[in-house]
Chain A
Amino acid sequence: MNDARPDTLAVRTADNVVLGYSVAGVGSRLAAQLVDGAVLSGILIVAYAVVTSAVGSVGGRNGALVAALIVSGVLFFVVFAYFFVFELATGGRTPGKNALGIRVMMLDGSSPDRAAILVRNVVRIVDTVMGGVGLFVMFFHPLARRLGDIAAGTVVVRDRQRTTLAAATAPVPLILKTPDAGPPIDGIEMLGSLEHDALRTFLVRPGLTPELRMRLATDIANRLYTRLELAPAAPERMWPPELFIERLYLQLEQRHR
């Protein structure tokens, strides 16, 4: 995880562990808004049909006008209640946000409380005026927050699970040619788990052409000679670079076991 990337948010938890969140961008938030808008339109069309037929059956020459007044009267509340109730009941996921895999979160990583949800949805009025003041603010805000998010202390983050336990912990086959770990390499105690992981990343990498693998191995081996402070005439320098890397890896594996 890279804390410096502008579209990530680092939150320090009560246990003093940093959690990294990927911030939802303007695009996915607009798309979520479109989905919510479509759902809302459906609700309002049904509401209009119901009210018109109800008023029409009562009669009166101004039936259509009365129906329009009633529907425009509830419109504002329906739109507000839709966002407020859904975000409150689901921990910040409206149907649109759910469809896009994003959710509302407090800046400290906790679930949004009712005050925050109220504020961000009331300030939506200001965010949507003049063709979208909120959109403009989001565009330039490093965490893509609109005015309502700033006032409520919230941020919208990605919610979709990208890795599973099985995928993250599945053993990856090593590509090894050497039959054994070979003679002990001098200075190996200077290397730690970082080098171990780096060598592993190289050794599990599939699909490298032999020439490219050779070139990468030479490059890595040259850096490791320096790290290991090997003498210019050390026997390890005489090994083919790929063999050197494989033996080094296997020996590190034994030391760290």
Chain B
Amino acid sequence: MSLDGFIADRRARWAELDGIVSRARRGNLRAASAAELERFGVLFRHASSDLAIARRDHPQAAVTEYLNELCSRAHVLLYRGAPFRLAQLPGDFALGIPRAWRAAWPYMVTSAACVALGFVAGWLAVYLRPDLRAAIVPSSLFDQMARGRVSGGIDHAPAVAFYIIQNNIRVALICFAGGVLLGLPTVLALASNGWMLGAIAAAVNIGGYNVQFWSLIVPHGVIELSIIVIAGGTGLMLGDAILRPGQLRRGDALSAAARRAAWLACDAALLLVVAGSLEAFVSPSGLPAAAKLGIGVATGVALYSWLGFAGRRESRATARLRLDAPAIVAAA
């Protein structure tokens, strides 16, 4: 068929599809009417088969270039992932995090081990090398202990809470994102967090201010450290996907792991709002040490019973789907 005949036969359909695609706003067809949507499917299939014909018979023609453009503009309107619904978020958060966390347990254990390793190293460094103490531990801590108290020294709690929260969330997200560099930044961040805590804890232990110090750390620290461990675990998932991609290409393995881990990392990072608020308001407050430690332990029990047990039973909708499946097969 000649190019002119090819165009004359099909031009009207292309114009109609072009009209529907041009009226799409913000990358979706939500503004289109039902009739238009129905036509869209038919017209798109026609246009893509026209493109295949044009590629074969008229590879250099301007109309082939046009059809390629028309089809790619239509393709992205038709093929897309599940839409984003705000109403899903609470359910995804409450049940999705615990399920993802349990599924990723080897990474969570490894991540915790990195922190623990850093902690032990920091503790030993302070004990075994007294000459390096001044370099390892902030000198203000020794000043404070010399004056007889250990404190955070925080005024303007709300503003500080803001700052602490954003800083912690950033650290958590760096732990996740560092996974794309084989997880090396992740391991470094985890170990150095453990190292700092271990070194300071050892210095405080030597000074004999254990109760004061831990009552300052524990109320927010239980959640904070847990979230950092979770975020670190997601980063390790990415690094592992690159190092051991299995049957996939490395890039594909990485993106599959990243898509699984991203919500766990980001939703968990939201919990740092709770930790940051405790850090700004409860930890430096005048509450008795026992109450502060109690709060910390309570947050830990709440966090880990949620992570360990929430969403273990399958949701009612999934269960019904499974029950209905044999009936559907039988009916067919």
Residue in A76, A103, A111, A153 with the greatest tally of chain B CB atoms within 10 Å? A111
**Looking at the complex, which one of B27, B162, B163, B185 makes contact with A93 (CB distance below 8 Å)?**
B27
* B76 proximity list for chain A (CB < 8 A): 91, 105, 109-111
- Which of B66-74, B103-111, B303-311 contacts the other chain? B66-74
Count of interface residues, chain B, beta-carbon cutoff 8 Å? 73
Would B177 and A89 count as touching, CB distance under 8 A?
Answer: no
Given contacts A62-B156, A69-B162, is CB(A114)–CB(B81) below 8 Å?
yes
Stretch at the interface among B1-9, B129-137, B139-147, B207-215: B1-9
Q: For the complex, is A14 an interface residue (Cβ under 8 Å from B)?
A: yes
Report the separation of the CA atoms of residues A108 and B78 in the bound assembly, to the nearest whole angstrom. Answer: 12
- Residues from chain B with a CB closer than 8 A to the CB of A109 are 72, 75-76, 79
Cβ-neighbour of B48 out of A1, A13, A90, A112 (below 8 A): A13
With a cutoff of 8 Å between Cβ atoms, the chain B residues found around residue A196 in the complex are 2-3
- Interface band, chain A: 35 or more
Q: B residues within 8 Å of A by Cβ?
A: 1-5, 7, 11, 14-15, 18, 26-28, 45, 48-49, 51-52, 55, 57-66, 68-73, 75-77, 79-82, 84, 155-156, 159-160, 162-163, 165-166, 169-170, 173-174, 176-181, 185, 238, 251-252, 254-255, 258-259, 262-263, 265-266
8 A Cβ contacts from A115-141 to B: 115-116, 118-119, 122-126, 133
**Could you tell me if A21 and B72 are in contact, using CB atoms closer than 8 angstroms?**
yes
| A148 CA to B26 CA, complexed, in Å | 23
Contact in complex: B27, A163 (CB < 8 Å): no
Distance in angstroms between the alpha carbons of A122 and B258 in the assembled complex: 10
State A66–B179 Cα separation when bound (angstroms).
34
With A and B bound together, what is the CA distance between A171 and B254 in angstroms? Answer: 50
Chain A residues numbered 214-257 whose CB sits less than 8 Å from any CB in chain B: 253, 256-257
- Given A91-B26, A92-B27, 9 more A-B residue pairs with CB atoms under 8 Å apart are A1-B64, A11-B75, A70-B163, A110-B75, A110-B80, A111-B28, A116-B259, A153-B252, A257-B2
Is A26 positioned at the interface, with any CB of B under 8 Å from its CB? no
Residues of A within 8 A of B259 (CB): 115-116, 119, 152-153
Q: With an 8 A cutoff between CB atoms, is A167 at the interface?
A: yes
Contact B69 A161 (CB under 8 A): yes
Given known pairs A17-B49, A113-B82, A151-B180, the reply for A163 and B66 (CB within 8 Å) is: yes
The answer on a CB contact under 8 Å between B84 and A20 is no
Number of cross-chain contacts by CB at 8 Å: 202
- Taking the complex as formed, is A15 at the interface, i.e. its CB lies under 8 A from any CB of chain B? yes
- Report the separation of the CA atoms of residues A183 and B84 in the bound assembly, to the nearest whole angstrom: 67
Interface contact A73-B65, CB-CB below 8 Å: no
13 residue pairs from A and B, CB less than 8 Å apart: A1-B68, A17-B71, A73-B159, A77-B169, A92-B27, A109-B76, A110-B81, A113-B80, A123-B258, A153-B251, A169-B63, A256-B1, A257-B2
Q: Does A88 contact B (CB under 8 A)?
A: yes
Q: How far apart are the CA atoms of A152 and B255 in the complex, in Å?
A: 5
Given A90-B26, A91-B76, A151-B180, check contact A119 B68 (CB 8 Å): no
How many Å lie between the Cα of A11 and that of B71 in the bound state? 11
B residues within 8 A CB of A193?
1-3, 57-58
Could you say which of A16, A18, A69, A92 contacts B159, with CB atoms under 8 Å apart? A69
Q: Which residues of A contact B61 (CB under 8 A)?
A: 197
CB <8 Å contact, A200 and B3: yes
Closest to B4 in A: A171
- In the complex, what distance in Å separates the CA atom of A133 from the CA atom of B174? 14
Whether A126 contacts B178 by the Cβ 8 Å rule is yes
Give, as a whole number of angstroms, the nearest-CB distance from B236 to chain A. Answer: 14
Pairwise interchain contact A152-B66, C-beta atoms closer than 8 A: no
Q: A119 — which chain B residues lie within 8 A by C-beta?
A: 255, 258-259, 262
Closest to B21 in A: A161
With beta carbons under 8 angstroms apart, the residue of A74, A113, A167, A197 that contacts B166 is A74
- B57 adjacent to A194 (CB under 8 Å): yes
Bound-state CA distance A11–B68 (Å) is: 11
Q: Which of A138-169 contact B (CB under 8 A)?
A: 147-148, 150-153, 161-165, 167-169
Complex Cα spacing A163 to B73, Å: 12
Q: How far is the CA of A124 from the CA of B176 in the complex (A)?
A: 11
Do B68 and A19 have beta carbons less than 8 Å apart? yes
Is there contact, CB below 8 Å, between A88 and B58?
no
Which residues in chain A, 71-117, are within 8 Å of chain B measured between CB atoms?
A: 72-77, 88-93, 103, 105-106, 108-116
* A53 within 8 Å of B (CB atoms): no
Asked whether A122 lies within 8 Å of B254 as measured between CB atoms, the reply is no
Asked if residues B177 and A73 are in contact (CB atoms below 8 Å), the reply is: no
- Please name all residues of chain B whose beta carbon is closer than 8 Å to the beta carbon of A70 when the two chains form the complex: 159, 162-163
